[in-house]
Amino acid sequence: GLSFGYFCDALSERFPLVYKAVPVMLRPMFLISAVFYTANELPYSLLSIFSWNPLLHANEIVREGMFEGYHSLYLEPFYPLAFSATLFLAGLIFHLICDTENH
């Protein structure tokens, strides 16, 4: 959440429309994050698309921790961390670029 917020803040310095676009982007991201179903239930054709969502992996991590018998077949535990770090670095770079242009 922090990385996404930082990235959106960096983008909004140049593109004010980001504040209106983010809620539109977050709704589908939430719906395909495996909140209402498990990743193991998805057909492979959908899983190949949905697995790009770091929230899906985060939900699967929580499920494995909460339910003793549950084991996710498609869990990549470091994907949410790598995604978050990449987004934070992109936001940092974008902030630096905008600050350099403003001064």
Q: What is the pLDDT of residues 1-37, one digit of tens each?
A: 789 999 998 888 888 898 889 889 888 888 888 888 8
pTM, entire model? 0.81
Backbone angles phi, psi at 16, to 5 degrees: -60, -20
Q: Indicate the pLDDT class of residue 64, thresholds 50, 70 and 90.
A: very high
Q: Indicate the pLDDT class of residue 103, thresholds 50, 70 and 90.
A: low
Domain total in the chain: 1
Q: Indicate the pLDDT class of residue 61, thresholds 50, 70 and 90.
A: very high
Smallest Cα–Cα separation from 58: which of 88, 33, 31?
33
Q: Give the domain extent around 49.
A: 2-102
